[in-house]
Structure 1
Amino acid sequence: MDLAPAASAAPVAKPLRLEPFRAKLLAPARVGDPTSARAFARPYRAVSARLQDWEADGRLTHMSTEAVYVHEYTVGGLTVRGLVGSLSLANRSDRAGDRAIWPHEGIHPVQVGELGKRMYEMAMNPAPILLVHEGPPEVRALLQAVVAAPPDVAYLDRAGQQQRIWSITRRDLLESINLGLQDSDALVADGHHRYAAYLRLQEEHPGTPWDWGLAMLVDQLDTPLFLGAIHRSMGGVTFAAARAAALAAGAQVQTLPRQVAVQELAPETIVLADGASWAVLTPPPGSGLAQVEWLHNVLLPRLPLPPSAIAYHHTADEALQRADAHTVAVLLPALDFAAVRDLVHAGRLLPEKATSFQPKPSLGVLMRSLLDEPVAPS
């Protein structure tokens, strides 16, 4: 499928606002349990009734009042803290200086349509999209004051994440937070297709609860997300063909032993392997492209035939396990937040699955039902 810009609709414009909502929370024993995904399975129109049944037998909690939530989770020694609320979507602008939300990857329009239909049938945002920004000090101070108190909810989930939630219901505090956020802009860290589906649903149903979409906003200056690389294995591509395409694209190519090649992976290099041969590519300087862009925009078009399939891997070992005489593994360096931010502010989009923001929260910690909102939040 061809990739399209991350949102065909006009982007969400400033001020960035998060509004309160009545959260649904899976019971602690259900969060992080893969079987909980059954609650959101087909038929999607039955999801709301299914969750009502879960609430009746104690597998789900429904908060009694609307709030914006501070959600803090810890896994593997890393703690992430974010604000979870209903992101205002109705204010739009095509001007780059007005933009509040910046996607950084392309999308598949068919997938956007499928996700939008699914959410509409469920009448739910089953998980927040993950946004990241460099937050203003005044908002950071407000949140630190909130988390100084004991959390309203705290537990260790089935996936090993320690969850903590604080509810913010005071209107004066919420307005102070939104006042501090009004000039902020945020990067979509996870949920590009859901964000595009949010925009499509808002355009199709203006003046309804679809004017908002569930989001978690993380301050990269407070509790930063880790950015990892996403590697590739390309079926139907031989090592020799990939090496020749790199040379034709002007890259410096060094054939090296395995251990040396892996150690040479760096911000300016790419590693190719088929399990028997290894090479380190250094694209020509001055292209202005990130290595993942150079791979997709420069090297791949020079292959004699396009890959029959591209698989994506969060570890180098996973990619290398797929490598053989007819599949080349491509190890890529990770980008940092500043590089991604500057790239999108310059009007560019990265290829699909260019970055991995980690760790992501477990499914089911905070959910939003649109059936709770017969009229849009004020």
Structure 2
Amino acid sequence: MNTAGHPEATAHRGLELTPFRGLRYDPDRVGSLAAVTSPPYDVVVRPDGLLHLESADPYNIVRLILPQAATPQARNAQAAATLRRWRSEGVLTADPEPGLYVYEQRAPDGLLQRGLIGALRVTDPSDGVVLPHEDVMPHIVADRADLMRATSANLEPLLLTYRGADDTTALVEEAAERPPLLATTTEDGFHHRLWAVTAPADLARVRAGLARHQALIADGHHRWATYRRLRAEHPSPGPWDHGLVLLVDTARYPLRVRAIHRLLHTVPVSDAVAALAGHARVRRLDTPLPEALDALAAAAGAGNAYLLAGDGAFHLVDRLDPGLLARTVRRDRPEAWRTLDATVLHAALLAHVWQVPEDSAAHVSYIHDTAATVDKAVRDGGTAVLMHPVREEVVRDLARQGVTMPRKSTSFGPKPASGLVLRALDL
């Protein structure tokens, strides 16, 4: 990246989390805080999930992160106008002083996650401060950049993990003993709480605690790439030097790693199965989804494996032809990368066997929810390709080697709810 205008870029090492005046919903102006939240923009399953969120409350954050209009320019202009209107009407109000925000999520099964939301200094890849682990799709980065330019805001935090900044983690837990700024329970059963950290001594503790740490991008590669693009476009110092993030210490609060599934819009299951003849073993499973996923997990322990769905049954794909893999998978990457399910799927199956252009949204969608992927394949007549998750240690090891995985290889969670705190750059 061109860092002209950013002479200080090489002067900072480690994570630098900066306080900001959070922009938050006034609970007296909305139906409920839960009703105005949304999953991150790329987790919303459209159009069903989008329509559900839009109808939950007229001020739902999805109207900003996924505005609906006839053209991209109109969508972004609409989001900017909506944000200005909500601020002028007092629906969204700025906190009186800058701070960091302790954010807690508690899952229905008891899983607890806590972290710090702040404005992180955007660094170059060569600095080794923020480690990506997945490739990005340029058209999505361009789309997110256009939205951020139009709104002049970071509308939702991306999720970063670090390990073992003990004093910072202690501060997070101390804050969680106080009454929160807000508390709400979203319809998925997750409990959310938020606290502000504004005392200069506490902010200094965080600054010192994170100074020698690096972070792994757990969720939000496209938003991080967007931050980097926008930082390069604007003079420094300035508000574009930072981007909104949630930092979680996974030594204290381990994340869950789930797979992101593929939906092939133009390939019926019968065609997908037929094309695999001679390239892989395919077994039909007339079982419910949970049992089919158990079979996928067992097969994934011995090699690359996938579960195809969309015709009322499941088809377990494994034992791929070694000759096919030798011909299609790049050899200039580590073995751990070459044997990833996502690597093999994209290089061998999508590109060679099914001949599906992975960069086209008309041909491939990426969906986090397993049941939703299957249901949409059944409705649309396409093929759901269900994946088995990658272990976190594999992700981290590849990231430290500077090797990125294929796009949408992993889904770390729980993901932060969008709509609890925003960052307006004019603040």
TM tier, shorter chain? 0.7 to 0.9
Give yes or no for contact 2:115–2:172 (8 Å, CA) kept in 1: no
1:68 paired residue among 100, 122, 131? 100
Structure 1 position 324, deviation (Å): 9.2
Give yes or no for contact 1:31–1:365 (8 Å, CA) kept in 2: no
Q: Please tell me whether residue 87 in structure 1 is matched to residue 120 in structure 2.
A: yes
Q: Deviations over 1:282-332 (max 9, x none)?
A: 445967421122111222222263267223333443333315996333221
Q: Deviations over 1:217-262 (max 9, x none)?
A: 111222233221122232333556645665665x5x2524333754
User: Mapping of 1:170-185 within 5 angstroms?
Assistant: 170-185=199-214
2:318 paired residue among 271, 281, 284? 281
SS of corresponding position for 1:104: coil
SS of corresponding position for 1:43: helix
Distance 1:146 1:53 in 2: 31
Question: What does residue 156 of structure 1 align with?
Answer: 184
Identity, in percent, stands at 32
Distance 1:53 1:31 in 2: 22
1:138 paired residue among 160, 167, 177? 167
**Counterpart residue type for residue 278 of structure 1:** H
Q: Please tell me whether residue 168 in structure 1 is matched to residue 218 in structure 2.
A: no
Q: Please tell me whether residue 110 in structure 1 is matched to residue 109 in structure 2.
A: no
Give yes or no for contact 1:39–1:51 (8 Å, CA) kept in 2: no
User: Mapping of 1:5-24 within 5 angstroms?
Assistant: 14-24=13-23
Distance 1:154 1:326 in 2: 43
Structure 1 position 87, deviation (Å): 0.6
Given the superposition, is the C-alpha separation of residues 275 and 63 from structure 1 closer, same or farther in structure 2, using an over 3 Å criterion? same
SS of corresponding position for 1:210: helix
Given the superposition, is the C-alpha separation of residues 276 and 216 from structure 1 closer, same or farther in structure 2, using an over 3 Å criterion? closer
Say which is worse superposed, 324-333 or 15-24, in terms of deviation: 324-333
Distance 1:133 1:171 in 2: 23
Q: Please tell me whether residue 264 in structure 1 is matched to residue 318 in structure 2.
A: no
* Structure 1, gaps ≥5 residues long: 1-7, 373-378
Q: RMSD in angstroms over aligned alpha carbons?
A: 3.0
Q: Please tell me whether residue 224 in structure 1 is matched to residue 254 in structure 2.
A: yes
SS of corresponding position for 1:25: strand
**Counterpart residue type for residue 263 of structure 1:** D
TM-score, scaled relative to structure 1: 0.82
Q: Deviations over 1:137-190 (max 9, x none)?
A: 332223223323x13413224545433222222223222222221222212222
Given the superposition, is the C-alpha separation of residues 186 and 367 from structure 1 closer, same or farther in structure 2, using an over 3 Å criterion? same
Question: What does residue 309 of structure 1 align with?
Answer: 363
**Counterpart residue type for residue 372 of structure 2:** E
* Structure 2, gaps ≥5 residues long: 4-8, 37-52, 68-76, 326-334
Distance 1:364 1:277 in 2: 37
Give yes or no for contact 1:275–1:324 (8 Å, CA) kept in 2: no
Distance 2:81 2:384 in 1: 42
Question: What does residue 46 of structure 1 align with?
Answer: 81
Given the superposition, is the C-alpha separation of residues 50 and 240 from structure 1 closer, same or farther in structure 2, using an over 3 Å criterion? closer
**Counterpart residue type for residue 241 of structure 2:** D
Give yes or no for contact 2:20–2:99 (8 Å, CA) kept in 1: yes
Given the superposition, is the C-alpha separation of residues 119 and 258 from structure 1 closer, same or farther in structure 2, using an over 3 Å criterion? same
**Counterpart residue type for residue 299 of structure 1:** L
Given the superposition, is the C-alpha separation of residues 49 and 306 from structure 1 closer, same or farther in structure 2, using an over 3 Å criterion? closer
Say which is worse superposed, 8-17 or 314-323, in terms of deviation: 8-17
Question: What does residue 347 of structure 2 align with?
Answer: 297
**Counterpart residue type for residue 114 of structure 2:** R
Greater fraction of residues in helix: 2
Q: Please tell me whether residue 37 in structure 1 is matched to residue 66 in structure 2.
A: no
Give yes or no for contact 1:83–1:218 (8 Å, CA) kept in 2: yes
Question: What does residue 4 of structure 1 align with?
Answer: none
Distance 2:417 2:103 in 1: 11
Q: Deviations over 1:73-106 (max 9, x none)?
A: 22323322110111112x5352xxx311122222
1:214 paired residue among 226, 244, 247? 244
The number of residues matched between the two structures is 355
Structure 1 position 279, deviation (Å): 2.9
Distance 1:312 1:39 in 2: 21
TM-score, scaled relative to structure 2: 0.73
